[in-house]
Amino acid sequence: MVQTLLMIDTAGRLQNRTDLMEELSKIIRVIRKKDPSAPHNTILVLDATTGQNALNQVEVFQKLADVTGLIMTKLDGTAKGGVLVSLADKFALPIHAIGVGEQIDDLDAFDPHEFANALTGS
Ligand SMILES: Nc1nc2c(ncn2[C@@H]2O[C@H](COP(=O)(O)OP(=O)(O)OP(=O)(O)O)[C@@H](O)[C@H]2O)c(=O)[nH]1
Ligand SMILES: [Mg+2]
Distance 87 CA to ligand 2 centre (A): 22
Residues having CB within 6 Å of any atom of ligand 1 = 11-12, 45, 73-74, 76-77, 99-102, 106
Cα–Cα distance, 119 to 100 (Å, whole number)? 14
The predicted-structure confidence for 42-83, as pLDDT tens digits, reads as follows 999 999 999 899 999 999 999 999 999 999 999 997 888 889
The answer to the question of residue 47 being in a domain is yes
The predicted-structure confidence for 73-120, as pLDDT tens digits, reads as follows 999 978 888 899 999 999 999 999 999 999 999 999 999 999 989 888
Note down the domain range covering 90.
40-120
Closest ligand (CA of 47): 1
User: What global pTM score does this model have?
Assistant: 0.92
Q: Where are the beta strands (DSSP E) in 1-122?
A: 43-47, 69-73, 95-99, 107-109
Distance 71 CA to ligand 2 centre (A): 13
Closest ligand (CA of 8): 2
Q: What is the CATH number of the domain that holds 103?
A: 3.40.50.300
The answer to the question of residue 10 being in a domain is no
Number of structural domains in the chain: 1
The answer to the question of residue 98 being in a domain is yes
CB atoms within 10 A of CB 61: 19
